[in-house]
Amino acid sequence: MIAAAVGLSHSPLIGKNDPAPGVIAAVDAAMHEVRAFVSAFHPDLVVLYAPDHYNGFFYKEMPPFCLATEANAVGDFGSAAGPLSVDTDAARAIALGVLERGVDLTISARMTVDHGFVQPLEVLFGGIDRVPVVPVFVNGVATPLGPISRIRALGTAIGEAAAELDRRVLFVGSGGLSHDPPVPVLDGAPPRVADALIEGRPPTPEQRARGEQRVVQAGRDYAAGSTAMIPINPTWDNLVLDTLAGGRLDDVDSWSVEWMGAEGGGSAHEVRTWIAAFASLATIGEYRMTSRFYQAIPEWIAGFAAATAAATSLPEAAR
Ligand SMILES: O=C(O)CCc1cccc(O)c1O
Ligand SMILES: [Fe+2]
């Protein structure tokens, strides 16, 4: 296996509630750099770690993580809908390899995914059907959340299993860093909300539009500073990036769920996807973070980060 990694924040508010032009220009430049890295690396397989926002996974059964052998996008917030180009054979082989390594992986033969998966595929590849992909859901919102050490173990097992495939694999983590969008919470929810979170009946177009408008409004409130949401925390976000850049992945095992939520807000747990992606990359040996972008963007409800990493042993021309 030849491997590289990308971590990329997502936000459905991009293009809907935009920050100042200078911020947009800086993000555009960073995205240009990440795309250049990806096209130079030229992956023939993408292992995509992403969370879900109650579009595909519900409390009727809520796995801590789940690998898909096929997947369909719902098209929330105007993102692409329809089937992802899942490499089913690679997905099955990796799933078996992970189980053999003692990590109790859940499998989906028809995963429903949302903007968490779709946005990085659109940003990096221009669509959801452009590159063979193995989608891996990592729960980052639905409590209870287990210890981070198990997410690192998942990333390690997937990296080792993927290494048996003889492919050029790009590991992508989608989400984070600190942010506190208005995602519903089961604990204490009124019966109608609790029922929706448990059963997962598809919302009507009107219900979906209302929910999305609520998130857009939350972005406006977050940017105006008049909100009960936990603020974006650049200090914590840079600690996360420093840890990944330094290859100190065993540090994350001591990060508690409570500490992460207090520092980074209710959706800070989306950084689990980054930890999985970098743990996968780390299975091939030392890596180097080759680019790193960070900007707090309250309009998007995102401590917005983008980073690329490649094996130190990979020749410069192939990075
Ligand atoms: O769909 C939702 O309910 C939440 C949407 C959402 C908003 C801001 C940042 C995110 O990472 C995100 O996912
Ligand atoms: Fe998210």
The CATH code of the domain that includes 245 is 3.40.830.10
Average pLDDT over residues 94-112: 98
User: What is the tally of structural domains in the chain?
Assistant: 1
Q: Choose among 182, 158, 304, 131: nearest CA to 234.
A: 304
Average pLDDT over residues 205-217: 94
pLDDT at 228 > cutoff 90:
no
Q: Is 12 in the pocket of ligand 1 (CB under 6 A)?
A: yes
- Active-site positions read 115, 179
Residues of the chain above pLDDT 70, percent: 98
H/E element, 32: helix 21-41
DSSP string for residues in 203-262:
PPHHHHHHHHHHHHHHHHHHHHT--SSPPP-HHHHHHHHHHHHTT-GGGGGG--HHHHHH
What's the confidence (pLDDT) of residue 145? 98
Q: What is the distance in A from the centroid of ligand 1 to the CA of 301?
A: 8
What's the confidence (pLDDT) of residue 314? 62
What's the confidence (pLDDT) of residue 313? 77
Mean residue pLDDT across the chain: 96
Residue 314, domain extent: 2-318
Residue from 77, 141, 183 to probe ligand 1 pocket by mutation (most atoms less than 8 Å from CB): 183
Among the bound ligands, the one closest to the CA of 114: 1
> What is the band of 227 on the pLDDT scale with cuts at 50, 70, 90?
confident
pLDDT at 248 > cutoff 70:
yes
CB 156 within 8 Å of CB 90:
no
Average pLDDT over residues 207-226: 92
SS (H, E, C) 139-190: CCCCCCCCCHHHHHHHHHHHHHHHHCCCCEEEEEEECCCCCCCCCCCCCCCC
Average pLDDT over residues 88-112: 98
pLDDT at 315 > cutoff 90:
no
End-to-end CA distance of the chain: 14
**Structure token digits, residue 198:** 């448990």
- The conformation of residue 201, written as its DSSP 8-state character, comes to P
Span 48-59, pLDDT tens digits? 999 999 999 999
ipTM: 0.97
Average pLDDT over residues 286-306: 97
Exposed (0-12), middle (13-18) or buried (19+): which is 204, by Cβ within 10 Å? exposed
Write the residue with the smallest CA distance to atom 12 of ligand 1: 11
State the Cα–Cα distance between residues 319 and 267, nearest whole angstrom.
Answer: 31
Q: Is 181 in the pocket of ligand 1 (CB under 6 A)?
A: yes
Among the bound ligands, the one closest to the CA of 216: 1
DSSP lists the bridge partners of residue 61 as 58
